[in-house]
Amino acid sequence: MKKTILSGMRPTGRLHIGHYVGALENWVSLQGDYQNYHLVADLHVLTTTTTTTSIDAHTLEMVMDWIAAGIDPEKSPMFRQSQIKEHSELFLIFSMLITKARLERNPTLKEQVRDLEIDNMIYGHLGYPVLQAADILLYKGNLVPVGEDQLSHIEITREIARKFNQEFGPVFPEPEPKLTKFSRLPGLDGKAKMSKSLGNTIYLSDKPEDIAASLKKAVTDTSKIRKNDPGHPEVCTVFTYHQKFNPAETESIAADCRTGILGCVDCKKRCSAAISDFFAPVRERRAPYEANPGLVREILAEGETKARKVAAETMHQVHDAMKIG
């Protein structure tokens, strides 16, 4: 039997090419060899805000990008956590299997507290990884594709699975993280990470002219001031994009930048053309869903029907093991 992959994202709206490189590309490539489930973590949004008005629109945009990237709804169910009640029930049961001290030691939580300047944490935020454990284990996920920042959550998931199995009997696998190789794309401003809140992104849904305009603003090697100054590709953001999206020309671009034959304006034009070409099939797949978002709702409804079946079966086993019900 195929192993199961459970992947998830909080609905933050349109996805950018950093998400593609860091996650989606990996999800798509794993599609044939594994049974994939893709979860919209819409309840997780509530850990940091009570503003719920944008969740629905953000979910549609994000799932559109998943499909556009190549996730096949026939093979890989896509669904909202909030629509499968079993997530909430398993979250509650798991809350009894982990200590407050263990959750307070979570480095990802500490980082969030620092970045978002949280001085009075809500109860559910502390339990963020417990809900994530329920997300993964309801589908008996064996592998979870994640970035570095999520490793601590997978570790907590493994501890909870182990604890449940010890206390009640063997129901859950101990899932393993699957890190992406090329997991970080720098932002247009040269910052280490592309991120919506930093405003340094190229969206998957951007048109070629948007991409060209964004690239014009991109930060390059700051010591290359005039066109024919010799440059240093290894410190240039645009060159990182060439490496990923324009591999055939990478070597000659590096050489011509170093000697000064190639100026940044030309180099950026070639880069935006390469990025546009790379994502042309993605834009093409996205188009019918943009025109008719109802199609995305249908895909979610189908995914939720499939997910609900699996989740109900797992909860059945949980109840049996716990001798309740």
For the bound state, the minimum distance from the C-beta of residue 165 to ligand TRP, rounded and expressed in Å, comes to: 19
For the bound state, the minimum distance from the C-beta of residue 77 to ligand TRP, rounded and expressed in Å, comes to: 14
3-state secondary structure of 70: coil
Give the largest Cα separation in the chain, rounded: 76
Note whether 6 binds ligand TRP by CB under 6 A: yes
Note whether 144 binds ligand TRP by CB under 6 A: yes
For the bound state, the minimum distance from the C-beta of residue 265 to ligand TRP, rounded and expressed in Å, comes to: 37
Nearer to ligand TRP, 143 or 202 (CB): 143
Other Cβ atoms closer than 10 A to 114: 9
3-state secondary structure of 80: strand
Q: Which residues ranging from 147 to 186 are in contact with ligand TRP (CB under 6 A)?
A: 150, 153
For the bound state, the minimum distance from the C-beta of residue 70 to ligand TRP, rounded and expressed in Å, comes to: 19
- Could you tell me if 175 and 183 are in contact, meaning their C-beta atoms sit under 8 angstroms apart? no
Fill in the amino acid letter for 311: A
Radius of gyration of the chain (CA): 22
Note whether 55 binds ligand TRP by CB under 6 A: no
For the bound state, the minimum distance from the C-beta of residue 40 to ligand TRP, rounded and expressed in Å, comes to: 9
Q: Which residues ranging from 104 to 143 are in contact with ligand TRP (CB under 6 A)?
A: 132, 135-136
Note whether 8 binds ligand TRP by CB under 6 A: yes
Note whether 39 binds ligand TRP by CB under 6 A: yes
For the bound state, the minimum distance from the C-beta of residue 6 to ligand TRP, rounded and expressed in Å, comes to: 5
Note whether 67 binds ligand TRP by CB under 6 A: no
CA–CA separation, 262 vs 315, rounded Å? 61
For the bound state, the minimum distance from the C-beta of residue 134 to ligand TRP, rounded and expressed in Å, comes to: 9
For the bound state, the minimum distance from the C-beta of residue 33 to ligand TRP, rounded and expressed in Å, comes to: 18
Nearer to ligand TRP, 215 or 311 (CB): 311
Contact residue for ligand TRP among 4, 5, 7, 299 (CB under 6 A): 7
Nearer to ligand TRP, 91 or 239 (CB): 91
Note whether 44 binds ligand TRP by CB under 6 A: yes
Give the tokens for residue 67. Answer: 């499909």
CA–CA separation, 197 vs 17, rounded Å? 15
Sequence-ordered list of residues with C-beta below 8 angstroms from that of 294, at least 6 positions apart, any chain: none
The residue with its CB nearest to ligand TRP is 8
Other Cβ atoms closer than 10 A to 261: 13
Contact residue for ligand TRP among 17, 21, 41, 311 (CB under 6 A): 41
Sequence-ordered list of residues with C-beta below 8 angstroms from that of 247, at least 6 positions apart, any chain: none
Note whether 58 binds ligand TRP by CB under 6 A: no
What long-range pairs does 31-36 form, CB within 8 A, spacing at least 24? 31/70, 31/71, 31/72, 31/75, 31/76, 33/2, 34/2, 34/3, 34/4, 34/5, 34/143, 35/2, 35/3, 35/4, 35/5, 35/76, 36/4, 36/5, 36/6, 36/7, 36/71, 36/75, 36/76
Closest-CA residue to 97 (of 33, 151, 162, 47): 162
- Could you tell me if 218 and 237 are in contact, meaning their C-beta atoms sit under 8 angstroms apart? yes
Contact residue for ligand TRP among 4, 5, 10, 264 (CB under 6 A): 10
For the bound state, the minimum distance from the C-beta of residue 302 to ligand TRP, rounded and expressed in Å, comes to: 20
CA–CA separation, 173 vs 176, rounded Å? 9
Nearer to ligand TRP, 160 or 271 (CB): 160
Q: Give how many residues touch ligand TRP by CB under 6 A.
A: 15
Residues at the site binding ligand TRP, with contacts judged by CB under 6 A: 6-10, 39, 41, 44, 132, 135-136, 144, 146, 150, 153
